[in-house]
Copies of this chain bind each other. A is one copy, B any other.
C-alpha cells in the first residue's frame, strides 16, 4: 500500500517554524491583507481560516470584506492604498470575485513585491523564465515542498499535470520543469487521458472532477498528488482521485482532506513571511 503523504503534518511543521521566528522579532510583525469580494461560502471559509492561522502564528491579519454592490474603483483604491502602506507585506485577492469585477485588472494592480499569491504576470513570467519570483503560487509551492519532504526524486521523472489553471496546473508544471522533470500537461481537451496517466511517474491532478483518477489508470508505485476537492451534498469531501482504490497501486498518495489543502495555507504564510523579510531589507 502507498505511503500516505501527510500534508497536515508538514504544514504544521512549517507554521511552527515561522511562529517561532516571529515570536523572536523585536520590530513589527509580518502583515497580510486579504480582500474578499464575493459571497461564495467556501471563499468566506477559506478567508476565515487564513485569518485564524495568520493570527495563530503571530502575524497581523487584515480582512477587507465587500458586498455585491462594491465597485471596481473601490477595490482599486484599496489595492493602491495597501501597495503604498509600509505596514502591509502581502496582499491577497481572494478569487473568484463578484462577476461584475475585472479580476485581471486588479491582479495586475497589486505591487508584484506584495503579490503573496504569485499571480501577477511579472511573477508568473519570472517563474517561467527559471528566475526567482517575489512569491511563488501557494498550492504549487506546497506540492513541490511535499514531494521534497518525502524525498521523491523529480529529475528525469515523467510528471503529468492534469488541469491547466493559472492557479495550479500551469505554475506547478513550470516548477516541475525547473526541477528537471519531463512534464506533460493534460486538460479537458486531452484525448485518452488514461494513456497519459499510465505512463506517469508522478501525477498532479487539479481538475475538481470527483474520482476522475481510478486505480486502473495509474502505474504501480507512482506518486499521486490530489489537488481536487468537491463537497458532496452530505458534506463528504471528494478529491480527483479514488483514494481508497488508488492507494493500493500508488507508491505515494495525498489524501483529501489533509494532503495538499493544508500546504496551500502554509505556503501563503511562508510567502508572507518571506516578503516581510525582503521588505525589511529594502
Q: Quick check: is A129 within 8 A (CB to CB) of the other chain?
A: yes
Q: Given B174, B182, B191, which contacts A156 in the complex, CB threshold below 8 Å? A: B191
How many identical chains are in the complex? 2
**Are A177 and B185 in contact, with the CB atoms below 8 A?**
yes
Contacts of A121 in B (CB 8 A): 121-122, 125-126, 129, 131
Q: Does A136 contact B (CB under 8 A)?
A: no
Cβ of A181 to closest chain B Cβ, rounded Å: 8
Interface contact B124-A155, CB-CB below 8 Å: no
Instruction: Give the size range of A's interface with the partner.
Output: 20 to 34
Q: Decide: B182 and A183 in contact? CB cutoff 8 A.
A: no
CB A147 to nearest CB in B, in angstroms, measures 16
24 contacts between A and B (CB under 8 A): A120-B125, A121-B121, A121-B125, A121-B126, A121-B131, A122-B122, A123-B125, A124-B125, A125-B126, A125-B128, A128-B128, A128-B166, A128-B170, A129-B166, A170-B177, A180-B187, A180-B189, A182-B185, A182-B189, A182-B190, A182-B191, A184-B184, A184-B185, A195-B199
CA A155 to CA B191, docked complex, whole Å? 9
Q: Which of A227-251 contact B (CB under 8 A)?
A: none
Q: Which 10 A-B pairs have the closest CB atoms?
A: A121-B125, A125-B125, A124-B125, A184-B184, A180-B189, A182-B190, A156-B191, A156-B189, A121-B126, A122-B122
Shortest Cβ distance from residue A212 to the other chain B in the assembled complex, whole angstroms:
15
Contact with A185, one of B125, B183, B189, B191 (Cβ below 8 angstroms): B183
Q: Which residues of B contact A123 (CB under 8 A)?
A: 125
Residue with the greatest number of chain B CB neighbours at <10 A, chosen from A120, A124, A164: A124
| A124 neighbours in B (Cβ, 8 Å) | 124-125, 128-129
- Residues of B contacting A100 in the complex (Cβ-Cβ under 8 angstroms): none
Q: In the bound complex, what is the Cα–Cα distance between A175 and B93 (angstroms)?
A: 27
* Chain B, Cβ-Cβ closest to A195: B199
Within the assembled complex, what's the spacing in Å between the Cα atoms of A198 and B13? 44
Min Cβ gap A61→B in Å is 28
Taking the complex as formed, is A96 at the interface, i.e. its CB lies under 8 A from any CB of chain B? no
Assembly CA distance A2 to B219 (angstroms): 35
- Given the interface pairs A122-B121, A125-B120, A170-B128, the reply to whether A182 lies near B186 with Cβ below 8 Å is yes
Which B residue's beta carbon lies closest to that of A190?
B182
A113 at the interface (CB under 8 A from B): no
In whole Å, how far is A136's beta carbon from the nearest beta carbon of chain B?
13
| Complex interface residues of chain A between 154 and 213 (CB less than 8 A to chain B) | 155-156, 164, 166, 170, 174, 177, 180, 182-187, 189-191, 195-196, 199
| A177 and B191 contact, Cβ closer than 8 Å, known pairs A121-B122, A121-B126, A121-B129 | no
